[in-house]
Structure 1
């Protein structure tokens, strides 16, 4: 009830505030909305804190933007009506964009592919093969980490597969459920966010593309995405942090207590498992009575990766040949398979189309394998594929709303206003750190990194371009958005991957959150102090990244204490 009252009061205050707004006329028919251009992202952020629901937050952010746009043209009642119509218009425009449509299809298709591989037992077979190699606590944790890395293509699949499969192994080797859930969570979004092919890449590439268009630059967004990877300090350092804690067998904070307890007692209390876990995990279980084979995962995934690589080259090659760069066309024809030609072709490719094509062909391969092995019929295969898509419907909704918010922010001139407001008042070197911290706060409040990226990316790229003419500065600022969103999501108790990780590992959810937050905070602090601030000051990433990795390993060794207490 208090939440509803707070939302009602906030919306009422927003309407009253907007009614008193005066917009300055500019040249022609354009309007300078000034501070009111900040209304959509501010409404989305504040509602995210109040409602903890990114769908609601993005929806009302778009509504607020439409309200401001139309308030300049008529009465408040006209503005309210047009605001609702604007939500429909902006959403339809977002869906009608071929790039956006390709991204949604790609994400849904990969969701269907994951369901097929799971039903065929391929994912579980790989996990079982790895689990047999565990000889003690160190190897059990490292194998869990490796399995999480191998399931790079989707964070949900990681959370729902790794935990249940490795739980008996880590229980046997006296590794706490809290540590298992941490490893699962730390290799879910962090690896999916930087993987070259995943359910994340299309969305991240799309946001980068829109951000550069806002400053009038036509770039290959996929190439920029690849360039941001070294600047994803939190993702990279968290993956390293997990490995270091496993190798050194050193922990600190609540995790140390949990690990020492696990070494002494059998604390596998199944009553603590999330009551919703059984249904989710059952859906991820292979078909009954089938022979588990690792090839049921290796072949579809290899198809996905192989077709994508070939597709990037072919798609980019065709795009260059139909372009106007004569010198590049001649170079490509003369040496089609030289390193430069391959690099240019990959750079000119359309990731949304290629990844959708690759995922679709990989899905057909998986269906064919399943039918040939009599695991399911063609009808059941299609049904499984569609059910896999259903798990990512919410992702599609977030994508459409985030794109719509980005478009309305562009129409209001929010980025230009922020640029004029902050370009002379903020030291340029601080921007990546500030963006990282702001992204972590928003994603912590909403429990989702997708919505956070959608709110911040359209603002960050224009602001970075205004603060510094260095193209690398824009890249590192975009990387700060993408990794900061994951940091906050990793800490958030309402994050879907946080919930799925604790559920899959069979541990009390808040125990998982309590033991994980100190680790995330430490890695996040290292990312700012030894990552974003130095690169913001101009230090080369080739020095900053290795140094921050060394600091992370030393932090584990010196902050952590041995699991086995000295007698």
Structure 2
């Protein structure tokens, strides 16, 4: 008998088509009626003593099922899709799980081989230890990333190559391909470009000169320096370099010591950048908070809203700024700073030589172009555009997400798309700076583009740190590091002590490493899930009592990082402030350290501890300011008065 389609003619071919389609249709129908075989699946890595989820799929919802782990049977609740999940903790080595149906017939098995739970801490501990030892944050983060990949790949000799390849090909690439992450990167780059333009076209110097015109004495010089530090809020590097270089000749004229100038510069640069709503810091901070929140299923607040809500609990930066104005207004000093001020008054011609330490710092300052007018509006208008469009964009997107109508401002900002708004604002600010520069013929288009790119390049280091921090956070999530910390600390760490412990740990690490951003990158992905879990364990997660503690824990990382940065001779802003002020680095650290330690202890007592034990944030800040005022007026003296007394006695 001949086959149904023996001939290659067109007519025979067309007869085969319906038969083929019918066969495929019958095959699909038969396959669709066949239920998938039951299966058991578990995590890629299982930590000993830490609860994990095992999933059974392909189950018949109408039949009872259970899993036998060798010690007991666990009944399963099967959903309509034939899937059931079992939370299991393995503490005694390898174990075989068996899936049974109602007739006790084994349907599937799964081998579980747990690894010591402390291994999940190795990446973070390695990053912190290497950062302490070598003071190289990028190297430390990469080493932690590599070690985490090695643990994930099985901890054998061959796993090293797999971990090395995945460090960039998987983890960093995954961090870079995330749309929210790239929004933050673009925001930082565009902000850097705007800073490059307004620094070169005379805008930032114009702001400085406007403030300098009103100076008539020592008090006005110090207050003007502090006010200028607030005005250049958008970047701490630009703040330190612009304020230090601009105010140095003015403070020299009224016989203010270089150490005092360096303190005023350093203690306004990072604090104001850390708490303002739109700065080069905010993209970094919001990105870290967003990454940390991804590990929490029950917390749906936006990362930007978390940052804003954490600002009132960010006690150290707020109190540091308050103390700067107290010192400037009162004219009082104590400790090594008082000695430096007396020396400046008695030896007006004496100038300190720059030490070799400052020479290793690459000067990120972009000088104003020679021969052009310095107009403050060239910086003020782009910054107003940046702030207005960013905040307006968050408001508009938040209102749209809520469907319009009347809502509280906090709810609107909480639902806003901060990532898109930040990109809109930074792009509009860049375009505004370019247009203003071209309309006034301050620079050619080629020169404007060049200095825009110079500003962009200044952001490459923090962006690199951010990428590595995101990648390390991804590895920590795969290793269930936060789950282990919750298991170990969840019962012992009191929610009330969390903000203080986090603040102290972040401060110590930042002091030892000299990198506030590195500390935030390492600690934030660990702290936020831990804080949420501790609150959840105590029945406080998402409650009116618990959320202030959560915001205070987030603020503890940010505030502690700034505190340690201020105390450390290794910090980049410390080096830049000393260099821009023409002050010896060690003199700057020695004179600033007592002030930073005083503010840090007050912030710990009235901010972190006070908040933890129920003190309202506003009352804690008020108590902190009152305490700082009392200490300053008790220990501090006016250098002018002391000099007059010394002269009279002589």
TM-score, structure 2 as length reference: 0.78
Between 360-369 and 163-172, the greater mean CA deviation after superposition: 360-369
CA–CA separation in structure 2 for the residues paired with 1:205 and 1:134: 38
Deviating more after overlay: 58-67 vs 32-41: 32-41
Gaps of 5+ in 1: 1-21, 321-327
Instruction: Report the Cα distance in structure 1 between the residues aligned to 2:619 and 2:119, rounded to whole angstroms.
Output: 42
The answer for the alignment partner of 2:308 in structure 1 is: 226
Contact 1:183-1:242 at 8 Å conserved across structures: yes
1:436-493 deviations in whole A, cap 9, x for unaligned?
1110111112211111112111221222223221122111111101110111111111
User: Does residue 161 of the first structure (1) align with residue 242 of the second (2)?
Assistant: yes
CA contact (8 A) 1:112 1:385 kept: yes
1:369 alignment partner in structure 2: 436
Task: Mark the CA change 1:483 to 1:283 in structure 2 (over 3 Å): closer, same or farther.
Answer: closer
Shifted more, 210-219 versus 437-446: the winner is 210-219
Aligned twin of 2:562: 486
Evaluate the alpha carbon distance shift between residue 452 and residue 96 of structure 1 in structure 2; reply closer, same or farther with a 3 A threshold: same
Offset, 1:528 = 1.0
Higher helix share: 1
> What pairs up with 1:125-164 in 2 under 5 angstroms?
125-164=206-245
Deviation at 1:549, TM superposition (A): 1.7
| Conserved? CA contact 1:178–1:511, under 8 Å | yes
Q: Does 1:116 align with 2:197?
A: yes
Larger relative contact order (C-alpha < 8 A, sep ≥ 6)?
A: 1
Match of 1:534 in 2: 610
Cα deviation code 1:21-56 (max 9, x no counterpart): x98679868755511111011101110111011111
Of 140, 159, 166, the match for 1:86 = 166
Q: Say what the alpha-carbon RMSD is for the aligned residues.
A: 2.1
TM-fit CA distance, 1:212: 2.3
Equivalences, count: 528
The alpha carbon displacement at 1:408 in A equals 0.7
Shift of 1:275: 8.7
More strand by share: 2
- CA distance in 2: counterparts of 1:219 and 1:365, whole angstroms: 32
1:128 CA drift (Å): 0.8
Partner of 1:314: 396
Offset at residue 287 of structure 1 (A): 1.1
Which residue number in structure 2 is paired with residue 15 of structure 1?
Answer: none
1:368-517 correspondence runs (5 A): 368-468=435-535, 469=540, 470-517=546-593
Q: Distance in 1 between matches of 2:96 and 2:383?
A: 54
Match of 2:280, SS state, is: coil
Report whether the alignment pairs 1:254 with 2:336: yes
1:512-561 residue CA offsets vs partner (Å, 9 max, x unmatched): 11111111111111111222112111222232221112112212211222
Whole-angstrom CA distance in 2 between matches of 1:267 and 1:452 = 41
DSSP-derived class of the 1:272 partner: coil
Q: Distance in 2 between matches of 1:69 and 1:386?
A: 39
- Residue 344 to residue 425, structure 1, CA distance change in 2 (3 Å): closer
Contact 2:496–2:613 (CA under 8 A) maintained in structure 1: yes
Per-residue CA deviation, residues 61-101 of structure 1 (Å, 9 max, x unaligned), is 111111111125xxx22211111112111101001011111
Contact 1:24 1:32 in 2 (8 A): no
User: In 2, are the aligned partners of 1:433 and 1:528 still within 8 Å (CA)?
Assistant: yes
| Residues 1:65 and 2:148 are matched in the alignment | yes
Q: Which has the larger radius of gyration?
A: 2
What does residue 46 of structure 1 align with?
129
- Unpaired runs of at least 5, structure 2: 1-91, 98-109, 541-545
TM-score of the aligned structures, taking structure 1 as reference length:
0.89
The 1:104/1:47 distance shift into structure 2, 3 A limit, reads same
Measure, in 2, the Cα distance between the counterparts of 1:79 and 1:67: 5
Match of 2:78 in 1: none
* 2:507/2:560 contact within 8 Å kept: yes
Structure-1 separation of matches of 2:185 and 2:363: 25
1:323 corresponds to? none
Distance 1:443 1:248 in 2: 30
Give the conservation status (yes or no) of the 8 Å contact 2:145–2:471: yes
C-alpha contact (below 8 Å) 1:228/1:476 kept by paired residues = yes
Is 1:292 equivalent to 2:412 in the alignment? no
How far is the alpha carbon of 1:309 from its aligned partner? Answer: 2.1
Task: Select 1:34's aligned residue among 114, 117, 120.
Answer: 117
